Structure 1
Amino acid sequence: MEPKHPHDRREGWELFRQLNRYMNEQFAPQDEVLASIRRSMEENGLPSISVSPATGKLLTMLVAISGAKNVLEIGALGGYSGVCLARGLGPDGMLTSLELVADYARLAKQNLEKAGFGGQVVYMVGPALESLEELVAQGSRFDFFFIDADKENYVHYLDYCLRLANPGAIIAADNTMAGSGIGTPRALGRRGEIMRQFNETVARHPALDALFLPIGDGVTVARVKAAKEER
């Protein structure tokens, strides 16, 4: 099969962007709570890299559909995805959110409190791998995971998610398309290659059922199999 011409790839990428705009506008219009979080991030100098509105809607739906009671978020930023995750929880559900930067965690906590979820979220500040090791030592267990942090450690985060997962838990990871890099990893250099390898790991993992969804910048979703399903 001949590789696509760069012009063809650009056309395909533009079509993908149009489809995502349609999804955002028709299925996930941004409400005032989420819009205010984006404004707070801009005012506080945080990077504008929150999940897309459609991705946020997907997270809410996945948490709600799965009936998750304990959710772990790796990468809080300003709290946009945290609110989306918390919206899927019932009143007795809890969100544990890991964030490297203390100022980001403080802003995220403020935004979750304003959204009415202050009593349902706990923040752990510091390197995520250290926080994950602490959670393992505590014997913590989770029903839902959302990975949206430094891409170089995605595979390591996946390993920890599996160690912390209840059977049937859902693992979702953002930015797994890496722009237009999937299928042509050299187009985006190292990041594209990292995401390609991560997706291959998830797709082939014997403990996971997985699928890639072309929403936002790509979301890879997997379900942790029960032990009997792995045989």
Structure 2
Amino acid sequence: MNQKSQQPRAQNPEVWRAVDGYVTDLLAPDDEALTAAQAASARAGLPEIGVAGNQGKLLYLLARARGARTVLEIGTLGGYSTIWLARALPEGGRLISLEYSEAHAEVARANLSRAGLDAIAEVRTGAALETLPKLAAEPGAGPFDLFFIDADKKNNPRYVEWALKLSRPGSVIIVDNVVRGGAVLSGDGADEAVAGTREMFEVVAREPRLEATAVQTVGSKGYDGFLMAVVTD
């Protein structure tokens, strides 16, 4: 089969989901704790907007490759990504996850406890832009080695700025959902999430302390992508 004849199949979202399933089953299968976390989130009526299994494994691998001992996550939801990230930390590691909704945080805490990670991972509630200054003022709260930003997109520029304040050289910043089905190309400002994402790109692009790129993805979560930046100074 030549490359041209493969294109219609490659553009089929059903194929994206099937490939995600194939990769996840082989390389990032859900175990009991992860399966239970997904089920508990579904029972609680949480929106199905968390990372896929293969994406969770990518976060885990990035944290391991960085040698991260401290992680700050902005946007917990049911704690599925939190479990992946917490599992990457060594003994004595620490993860703090910020979640706006107390109801979501309760689900996440139960999921983390079931996974045996509640001594490593802490979920704090409240608007992140109010929680972050309090966190920064705590003795020994930072710096963090890795940041995963997956919350309300309109505030992504401010979240990246806070990540910089709480970082050190070599810290990794990952921002999820930055392509938004291609809508990131729209500059009309009508969609707050798109406008926030575009401003975030501009903040990263002009920040001399960051080296960054973004990657488009397709899969069980549709067409989107993530940004990854490394703090250089």
Confirm or deny: 8 A CA contact 2:9 2:15 kept in the other structure: no
Residue 22 of structure 2 is aligned to residue 25 of structure 1? yes
Counterpart mapping for 1:34-49 below 5 A: 34-49=34-49
Structure 1 stretches of 4+ moved >6 Å: none
Residue 219 of structure 2 is aligned to residue 219 of structure 1? no
Could you report, residue by residue, the CA deviation over 1:23-52 in whole angstroms, capped at 9, with x for unpaired residues? 452243433322221111110111111112
Confirm or deny: 8 A CA contact 2:75 2:100 kept in the other structure: yes
Distance in 2 (alpha carbons) for counterparts of 1:13 and 1:194: 30
Could you report, residue by residue, the CA deviation over 1:167-225 in whole angstroms, capped at 9, with x for unpaired residues? 21011111111123233566x94433432332233234211011112235311111111
- Give 1:75's aligned residue: 75
1:24–1:132 distance in 2 versus 1, CA, 3 Å = farther
Give me the TM-score of the superposition, normalised by structure 2.
Answer: 0.83
Deviation at 1:137, TM superposition (A): 1.5
Identity %: 37
1:30–1:204 distance in 2 versus 1, CA, 3 Å = farther
Distance in 2 (alpha carbons) for counterparts of 1:81 and 1:71: 12
Distance in 1 (alpha carbons) for counterparts of 2:32 and 2:22: 14
Aligned-partner SS, 2:170: strand
Distance in 1 (alpha carbons) for counterparts of 2:199 and 2:9: 22
Distance in 2 (alpha carbons) for counterparts of 1:22 and 1:178: 20
- Give 2:3's aligned residue: none
Out of 145, 165, 168, the position equivalent to 2:170 is 168
1:102–1:147 distance in 2 versus 1, CA, 3 Å = same
Confirm or deny: 8 A CA contact 1:203 1:211 kept in the other structure: no
- Number of residue pairs matched by the alignment: 216
Counterpart mapping for 1:151-162 below 5 A: 151-162=153-164
Confirm or deny: 8 A CA contact 1:178 1:218 kept in the other structure: yes
Deviates more, 1:48-57 or 1:31-40: 31-40
1:67–1:175 distance in 2 versus 1, CA, 3 Å = same
Distance in 1 (alpha carbons) for counterparts of 2:17 and 2:186: 20
Unaligned runs of 5+ in 2: 1-7
Confirm or deny: 8 A CA contact 2:154 2:195 kept in the other structure: no
Distance in 2 (alpha carbons) for counterparts of 1:46 and 1:36: 14
Cα RMSD, aligned residues only = 2.4
